Amino acid sequence: MDLTNEDVQDILHVLDSLPFGELSLETARFRLSLRRAGNGDWTQALEILVPPALAADAGAPAGPAEPASSGGAAAGPRRPAAVSPAGAGLTDVRAPLLGTFYRAPRPGAPPFVAVGSLVRPDTVVCIIETMKLMNSVTAGVSGTVTEILLANAQFAEQDTVLMRIRADR
């Protein structure tokens, strides 16, 4: 049986009549800490310790389960350190936050840019989708796209180099 909000209220009710300012309760299933501030207000921290009861797969045709930190993307996640440093005169376009890299505004649409595209600082070069937000990434400089380092729909950690641009002089 797990603890409900009502259970916690009942425990607090009991504690209010007692001279204790703190309660720690740990069972095999949960760990509950209750703390009373000077003004009598309570704070709770509850941790459910029991592991999930994983049933067999639903018979899905999908392959083996992925590690929880990986996406359903075309390839594994790209990490910031995984690419060679930019050469002289090249500017990196980096992932402003971790998420899925998209080269086009929608599936089937032409990509925002390709190698050789001329860009200005405010040119949108790709999208990073994080927590259901589509974040437009702009070039940041005027120049020519020389390299695109990720595949479409690949997952990128924050600060991953996505593209390189040869800046205009």
Partner 1 sequence: MALLRRILIANRGEIAVRILRTCRLLGIETVLAVSDADRDSLPARLADAVIRLGPAAPAASYLDIDAVVRAAIAARVDAIHPGYGFLSENPRLATVCDAAGIIFIGPTAGQLEAVGDKVSARRHATAAGLPVLPGGEVTGEQQAIDLAARTGWPVLVKAVSGGGGRGLRPVREPAGLAETLSVAMAEAGAAFGDERVYLERYVTSGRHVEVQLLGDGQRVIHLGDRDCSVQRRYQKLVEEAPAPLLAPQLRAQLRQAAVALGEHLRYRGLGTVEFLVDCERDAFYFLEVNARIQVEHPVTEAISGLDLVAEQIWIAEGNSLRIQQGSVELTGHAIECRINAEDWTDSFRPSPGLITVAEFPAGPGIRVDTHIQAGSQVPPWYDSLLAKLIVSGRDRPEALARMQAALGRCQIGGVATTIAMHAQLLGTEAFTRGGPDTGYLDQFLRRRGTGHQAAGRLSATGGRHG
Does 50 bind partner 1 (CB under 8 A)? Our answer is yes
Candidates 14, 25, 82, 109: give the one binding partner 1 (CB under 8 A).
Answer: 109
Dihedral, 92, 97, 103, 108 alpha carbons, nearest 10? 180
Pairing of strands 124-130, 133-138: antiparallel
Shortest reach from residue 119's CB to partner 1, in Å: 13
Q: Is position 25 an interface residue for partner 1 (rule: CB under 8 A)?
A: no
At a CB cut-off of 8 Å and minimum separation 6, what does 103 contact?
111, 112, 113, 126, 148, 152
CA distance 163 to 156: 12
Least distance to partner 1 from the beta carbon of 120, Å?
A: 13
Angle at 50 between CA 49 and CA 53, to 5 degrees: 150
| CA distance linking residue 133 with residue 11, whole number of Å | 41
Residue 110's CB is within 10 A of a number of other CB atoms, namely 9
Q: How many residues bind partner 1 (CB under 8 A)?
A: 56
Pick from 113, 119, 126, 137 the residue near partner 1 by CB under 8 A.
Answer: 137
19, 38, 67, 116: residue in contact with partner 1 (rule CB under 8 A): 67
Contact call for residue 84 and partner 1 (CB under 8 A): no
Binding of partner 1 by 114 (CB under 8 A): no
| Shortest Cβ 46–partner 1 spacing (Å) | 6
- Contact positions vs partner 1 (CB under 8 A): 2, 4-5, 8-9, 12, 34, 37, 41-60, 62, 65-68, 70-73, 96-100, 105-107, 109, 130-138, 140
